[in-house]
Chains A and B, each alone.
Chain A
Amino acid sequence: MADNISVKDIIKPENLVHKRSSVMTDNIMHYCPGCGHGTTHQILAEVIEEMGIQQETIGITPVGCSVLMYNYLDIDMQEAAHGRAPALATAIKRLLPEKYVFTYQGDGDLAAIGTAETIHSCNRGENILIIFINNGIYGMTGGQMAPTTLEGMKSSTTPYGRDVKLMGNPLKITDIVATLPGTYYVTRQSVHKPGNVRKTKKAIRKAFEYQKHNKGTCFIEVVSNCPSGWKMTPVESNKWMEENMFPFYPLGDFKVPEE
Chain B
Amino acid sequence: MAKLKGSIVFDIEKCKGCGVCVTACPTEVIAMASEVNSKGYNYAEAVNMDACTGCTNCAVVCPDGVITVYRVKI
Q: Is B59 an interface residue (CB 8 A)?
A: yes
Complex Cα gap A227–B3 (Å): 38
User: From residue 35 to 74 of chain B, which have CB atoms closer than 8 A to chain A?
Assistant: 39, 41, 49, 54-57, 59-74
**Judging by beta carbons under 8 Å apart, are B6 and A234 in contact?**
no
By a CB distance below 8 angstroms, the chain B residues around A29 are 63-64
Q: Is A244 an interface residue (CB 8 A)?
A: no
Q: Mark A19-33, 1 if CB is under 8 A from B, else 0.
A: 111001000110111
Q: Mark A40-70, 1 if CB is under 8 A from B, else 0.
A: 0110000000000000000000000000000
Number of interface residues of B (CB under 8 A): 39
Q: Mark B1-39, 1 if CB is under 8 A from A, else 0.
A: 001011101010110111110111000000000000001
**Judging by beta carbons under 8 Å apart, are B72 and A9 in contact?**
yes
Residues of A within 8 A of B (CB): 1-3, 5, 7, 9-12, 15-21, 24, 28-29, 31-39, 41-42, 191-194, 197-198, 227, 233-235, 238
Residues of B within 8 A of A (CB): 3, 5-7, 9, 11, 13-14, 16-20, 22-24, 39, 41, 49, 54-57, 59-74
